Chains A and B, each alone.
Chain A
Amino acid sequence: MRGQRAGLMAWGFRVMVVGMVLAAPLGLPPFYVNLSGQVLIYAILALSLDLLAGVLGLWSLGHAAAFGVAAYTAAFLAERLGVSWGIQLISGLGVAAALGCVGGLVVMRVRGLYFMMLTLGIAQVLWALAENWTGLTGGADGIPGIGRPSPFITTNSFYVFLAACFALNLLVLWAIHRSNYGLILRGIRDNALRMEALGVATFRARLGAYVLASTIGGFAGVLFAWQQGLVSPGVLSVDTSAETLLMVILGGAGTLGGPILGAVIVVLLETLVSTITARWMTALGVCYILTVLGAPQGLYPVLMPKVARVFATWGRWFGGIGDGKRARVEGDSPSLRRATHPEGH
């Protein structure tokens, strides 16, 4: 089967490229390895937010809520109760999913500005709790002294662990983008009423996406707690939410490559520019404004065709990784049938 072999080769190529890019920082000094790890964590967070912002068209201003709550859960369990890292991870994800479930029941009833205000409100309430409930959260000092998961203690080994988590997460999101569920979410963004006329229970589909985004955001939060060894109210602040949103906007919403590129740019700029000048916020602001004016769709959709042109063949394989918009639906698909015709019609 020639087609199958070509498909396998394309996959092999993708895995190789992603693997090489992820492995590259291992040769660098520890500071840069840590920085790269931070990029990966924020990339996971930005990808999870993009599920709402890019795929579903709902711009959350409170995505830090999922991130922070999971980080605090892992930190509390690690530092106060000393449970194993597996339990920390599962509890972190569980709490983020529960928050997504309860919060989603409220915020998924509204859209647009109201959605932004409600998500912001929830995150701010949690931030205030973290800041003031000193007994539980350590207040402004946060919870220090969180250990890393046991075999991955050193800088390099923990980075490998992060890279594996990132790759897993990328695979999951790629599958969602390509799936009929992803298609249904984009259909809801375009026209929810028309989607209901096709027999899709849109509220349930949207709630599912919110829980999913929350859970993956929580995953990033747990990884963050481990990497930093300290969780403070900053993880729940509006700064974190806004920064994540900027990554998505800067990189390009609705694609897989966009939020990753956004995370790379924002984290690197923040870290590197702040070592050069104390006015780094100004420099960043100018960068953002220029990007939004020059490439309102985000940098990834603008840069990708150019990269693809340079590596003509490589680019074709690359394109398949990134852009959910080009997902192909052909022929009959059992999962779509189940989704739209559960009563056997």
Chain B
Amino acid sequence: MLELEGIDVFYGPSHVLHALTAHVEEGEVLALLGRSGAGKTTTLKTVMGWLRPRAGRIRWRGQDISHWESVRIARLGFAMVAQGRRVFPSLSVAENLGIALNPTSPWSLEDVYQLFPRLEERRYQAANTLSGGEQQMLSLGRALVRGPRVLLLDEPTEGMAPAIVQLTHQVVEMLREAGITVVLVEQNLAFALSLAARVAVMNKGQVVYEGRAQEFAAHRELQVQYLGVSTTGLRVGS
């Protein structure tokens, strides 16, 4: 279990996370929701060790990792797919995958190439010459060959075409079925609810709601109350 307990994080003088408390069960997909500016990305960065909490504890399987170097946290099996451009632009497709490759991952390079034949066609092409959708495939492929224990996904569907959103959905499903813990930050509520077992909603640097995804999906008033939107009329990504 990954536990966050009373986390305080600052950007310079501005207080971003206020005694944030949340937990993620091993092997579950947790959707981390909230309006922009709520502190979702900050939370992910703090877990990865890129930001230092000024107070509180982060525990993984009972071990306090709040003040570990990010390299050490990565070596525990934590991986993050950040927002925006997620590839090494001047490395080739094959190099991008090779650099993330972990032999203990359930997926091999061949699996990734089978899933995304486009990537195999372009394996020797520099990643910055790929289209946005292809870069997304590459970053999903990297997440697979990396085979992390805990994957932090920051808005994977943002700005993606429907076909790519479908692919992303498929990949997160594969990760979930392999028992990998996923923290999914999403604005696309339908996408998030169709994948997650639980949701945590953030507002102003705090978790204001935690519950089962089914329950959150079924109660429109909860969605309106915490997010100001609802899934009514929205189509799930798969």
Residues of chain A touching chain B, judged by Cβ–Cβ distance below 8 Å, are 180, 183-184, 186-187, 189-191, 193-194, 196-202, 325-333, 336-337, 340-343, 345
* Contacts A/B (CB < 8 Å), 23 sampled: A183-B98, A187-B88, A190-B90, A190-B91, A194-B82, A194-B86, A196-B70, A196-B71, A197-B48, A198-B99, A198-B146, A199-B71, A200-B71, A325-B90, A325-B92, A325-B126, A327-B95, A329-B97, A330-B94, A336-B101, A337-B103, A345-B75, A345-B77
Residues of A within 8 A of B98 (CB): 180, 183, 329-330, 333, 336
B102 at the interface (CB under 8 A from A): yes
B76 at the interface (CB under 8 A from A): yes
- Our pick among A186, A193, A198, A331 for the contact of B91 (Cβ within 8 Å) is A186
Residues of B within 8 A of A180 (CB): 98-99
Residues of A within 8 A of B149 (CB): 345
- Tell me if B95 and A329 are in contact (CB < 8 A): yes
Given contacts A183-B95, A328-B124, A336-B98, 18 further A-B contacts (CB under 8 A): A180-B99, A187-B88, A187-B99, A189-B90, A196-B70, A197-B80, A198-B100, A201-B71, A328-B94, A329-B94, A330-B94, A330-B98, A336-B99, A337-B103, A340-B99, A341-B104, A345-B76, A345-B104
- Tell me if A332 and B91 are in contact (CB < 8 A): no
Residues of B within 8 A of A330 (CB): 94, 98, 109
B130 at the interface (CB under 8 A from A): no
Residues of B within 8 A of A186 (CB): 88, 90-91, 95
Residues of A within 8 A of B103 (CB): 332, 337, 341
Q: Output the least CB separation between B147 and chain A (Å).
A: 9
B10 at the interface (CB under 8 A from A): no
User: For residue A190, which residue of chain B has the nearest CB?
Assistant: B88
User: For residue A333, which residue of chain B has the nearest CB?
Assistant: B98
Interface string of B65-91 (1 = CB under 8 A from A): 000001100111101101000101111
- Tell me if A341 and B109 are in contact (CB < 8 A): no
Residues of A within 8 A of B126 (CB): 325
- Tell me if A326 and B92 are in contact (CB < 8 A): yes
Q: Output the least CB separation between A109 and chain B (Å).
A: 15
Interface string of B92-124 (1 = CB under 8 A from A): 101101111111100001000000000000001
User: For residue B127, which residue of chain A has the nearest CB?
Assistant: A190
Q: Name the 3 nearest CB pairs between A and B, nearest first.
A: A329-B98, A199-B74, A190-B88
Residues of A within 8 A of B91 (CB): 183, 186-187, 190
Residues of B within 8 A of A342 (CB): 75
Q: Output the least CB separation between A227 and chain B (Å).
A: 36
Residues of A within 8 A of B104 (CB): 341, 345
- Tell me if A197 and B70 are in contact (CB < 8 A): yes
User: For residue B95, which residue of chain A has the nearest CB?
Assistant: A329
A31 to B79, CA, bound (A): 59
- Tell me if B101 and A333 are in contact (CB < 8 A): yes
- Tell me if B99 and A197 are in contact (CB < 8 A): no
A343 to B149, CA, bound (A): 14
Interface centre among B71, B77, B86, B99 (most CB of A within 10 A): B99
A197 to B86, CA, bound (A): 12
Q: Output the least CB separation between A52 and chain B (Å).
A: 16
User: For residue B76, which residue of chain A has the nearest CB?
Assistant: A345
Residues of A within 8 A of B92 (CB): 325-326, 328
Residues of A within 8 A of B82 (CB): 194
Q: Output the least CB separation between B153 and chain A (Å).
A: 13
